[in-house]
A and B are shown apart, each in its own frame.
Chain A
Amino acid sequence: MTVTKLHIETTINGEPREFLCDSHETLLSALRNGLGLTGTKEGCATGDCGACSILLDGRLVPACLVLAPEAQGRAVTTIEGLSSGDALHPLQQKFLEHAALQCGVCTPGFIVAAKALLDAKPNPSEDETRYWLAGNLCRCTGYDKIIRAVLDAASEMKESAI
């Protein structure tokens, strides 16, 4: 069977981008290997761990379970798209301040997942935050600092919006 590369036109972090991919390539692979956006991590590759969380048209999805051709005509947001120049997103800043990371592999997924939560619900309860982040696994920090960082970011974002 002859396999030809597919030409995909998409928007990544607000910029129009094009890439070539195989039909069986995941979006995670296209982002990391084709486009050099290595902030999005591969953990389990089976949708269990959330390390590859990205936003596709604003919806939180696991990039390891989305095929690259599905990005055609859609808007992708990765961890690289959260900061504005050198200014970190409040979630990134709060993860630093709360030391909510150790090895850092799960961190981009947590931050992107938390962004999806705060986009939909700017003032989540701790319970809502914990349930929302149930699909993001961390094997070293422990979750408490992560939850504190997200809740702190939420309250700061609320204050700065007033």
Chain B
Amino acid sequence: MKSFTNANPRDMAHAVTLMRQARQRGLTSVLAGGGSDLLGMMKERLVAPDVLVNLKAIKGLDRVTPDGGGVAIGGLITLDALAGHPLIRRQYAVLAESAESVATPQIRNVATLAGNICQRPWCWYYRNGFKCLKNGGATCYSITGENEFHAIFGGGPSYIVHPSDTAPPLVALDARFRIAGPTGERVVPAADFFTLPKDDAARENVLKEDEVLAGIVLPAMRAGARSRYHKVLDREAWTHAVVSAAIVLDIDRDVCRSARIVLGGVAPIPWRLPEVEKMLAGQRITPELAAGAGEAAVAGARPLAKNGYKVPLTRVMVARAIIATADLGLRNAD
């Protein structure tokens, strides 16, 4: 790891100032939350900052607090604390389940929510130092290369999949992201935070220079709402989603008033399925309807040479996840 100096901000505004000051002196800076992704990238020299702005120096940004009918979550909460928080488990199960599914106990004890959302892609070309679109180059090596874990939706010119487990639930829950920056705070809906590579292949989100994801605000859940996170891995634990689905259903007696369905592991952003959501709205959830939703979920899929398996996997998973979330059991989901 290259040496750097530590900068310990008092608050988010100070963190923003420290980043700007570093840049004005011709130095590069990075924000460090838990550091579980950042230190790996620094060891690989994918980033080599002169100044490390240590967000953990700021107190009180790791809390869950009631906010109107919903909750505000500090970006520095660890994934373990988030997964175990009673209010999150009770009201926003999809988010707790997703946080609990990340990596290992060791990683979840250091990794933060904001860091999980803002982590860079885990495409093996990028992480192994290829000069790809994410790393200052002009090529996505996955297009003709080893692309079994790459995007089937929304790809081009980069085909990464967004690696965050917590991002699909946050989009499904209609979260708002609080962003601190040089001119104060701006608030962005979760769905607008993530950006497609066709807009800027070097980035994954709307954060600009000197901006920080400070926290998340979740709206109140309606009384009949229920939510689940389903994650398919290529082994039993300790890896990213091959395909995942965040499902939020608002059910009144037997009828689904509204649905939010967002996929992970299949696109460069959390991939929302508005057509599927429309199919479910106002309907009773039946195995037939769920199977149709699975079909509709993959209607626009464009697999690469080696990731075609994700299409049937997504189709079946969406159907099963809808059934499971609606509490109908798995017996007829196939």
Q: Which residues of A come within 8 Å of B, CB atoms? A: 1, 3, 6, 22-24, 26, 45-47, 50, 53, 59-62, 64-67, 69-70, 113, 116, 131-132, 134-135
Count how many pairs of residues, one from A and one from B, have CB atoms less than 8 Å apart in the complex. Answer: 72
- Apart from A47-B40, A134-B237: 12 A-B pairs, beta carbons within 8 A: A1-B3, A23-B3, A23-B52, A24-B3, A47-B106, A50-B104, A61-B109, A62-B107, A67-B35, A134-B236, A135-B104, A135-B238
| A contact residues around B106 at 8 Å (CB) | 47, 50, 53, 60-62, 113, 135
A24–B237 touching, CB < 8 Å: no
Is B6's CB under 8 angstroms from A69's CB? Answer: yes
Residue of B nearest to A3 (CB): B3
Task: Write out the residue numbers on chain B whose beta carbons fall within 8 Å of the beta carbon of A47.
Answer: 36, 39-40, 103-104, 106-107
> Across the two chains, which residue of chain B brings its CB closest to A23?
B6
Nearest B residue to A58, CB-CB? B109
A131 and chain B: residue at smallest CB distance: B237
- Name the interface residues of B29-68: CB closer than 8 Å to any CB of A: 35-36, 39-40, 42-43, 50, 52, 56
Is B4 a contact partner of A23 (Cβ separation < 8 A)? yes
In the complex, whether B206 has a CB less than 8 A from a CB of chain A is no
Q: How far is the CA of A6 from the CA of B3 in the complex (A)?
A: 13
CB-CB under 8 A from B296, the residues of chain A are: none
> Which B1-17 residues sit within 8 Å CB-CB of chain A?
1-6
- The answer on a CB contact under 8 Å between B3 and A65 is no
Q: B301 interface residue, CB < 8 Å from A?
A: no
Q: Tell me whether A24 and B56 are in contact (CB under 8 A).
A: no
Chain B 98-117 interface 0/1 with A at a Cβ cutoff of 8 Å (1 = within): 00000111110110000000
A66 to B38 alpha-carbon distance, docked (Å): 10
Which chain B residues border A135 with CB–CB below 8 Å?
A: 103-107, 238
How many of chain B's residues touch chain A, expressed as a range?
A: 20 to 34
Which of A3, A53, A66 has most chain B Cβ within 10 Å?
A66
Whether B105 pairs with A66 at a CB distance below 8 angstroms is no
Say whether, besides A1-B50, A3-B5, A67 and B105 are in contact (CB < 8 Å): no
22 interchain pairs (CB within 8 A)?
A1-B3, A22-B3, A23-B3, A23-B6, A24-B4, A24-B42, A50-B106, A59-B109, A60-B109, A61-B109, A65-B36, A65-B40, A69-B6, A70-B56, A113-B106, A132-B105, A134-B104, A134-B105, A134-B236, A134-B238, A135-B105, A135-B107
Query: Which residues of B lie under 8 Å from residue A134 when comparing CB positions?
Result: 104-105, 236-238
Q: Which of B2, B35, B104, B238 has the most CB of A within 10 A?
A: B104
> Quick check: A24 and B2 within 8 Å, CB to CB?
yes
**Chain A residues with CB under 8 A of B50:** 1
Residue on B with the closest CB to A44?
Answer: B40
Q: A3-B5, A47-B36 are in contact. Are A61 and B110 (CB under 8 A)?
A: yes
**Docked pose: A22 CA to B52 CA in angstroms:** 13
B4 contacts which chain A residues (CB < 8 A)?
23-24
Task: Collect the chain B residues with CB atoms within 8 Å of residue A59's CB.
Answer: 80, 109
- In the assembled complex, the Cα of A110 lies from the Cα of B109 at a distance in Å of 16
Q: What residues on A are CB-neighbors of B2 within 8 Å? A: 24
Interchain CB contact under 8 A, B43 and A46: yes
**C-alpha spacing A60/B5, complex, angstroms:** 27
When distances are taken between beta carbons in the complex, the residues of chain A under 8 Å from B39 are 26, 47, 64-65, 67
Give the nearest-CB partner of A117 in chain B. Answer: B105
CA distance A64 to B104 in the complex (A): 14
List residues of chain A with CB within 8 A of the CB of B35. Answer: 65-67
> Which partner residue on chain B sits nearest A69 by CB separation?
B6
Known: A3-B3, A23-B5, A66-B35. A60 touches B43 (CB 8 A): no
**In the bound complex, CA of A50 to CA of B105 (Å):** 10
Q: In the bound complex, what is the Cα–Cα distance between A18 and B5 (angstroms)?
A: 20
CA distance A22 to B307 in the complex (A): 44
Min CB–CB distance A41 → chain B (angstroms): 14
Alpha-carbon separation in the docked complex, A60 to B109 (Å): 7
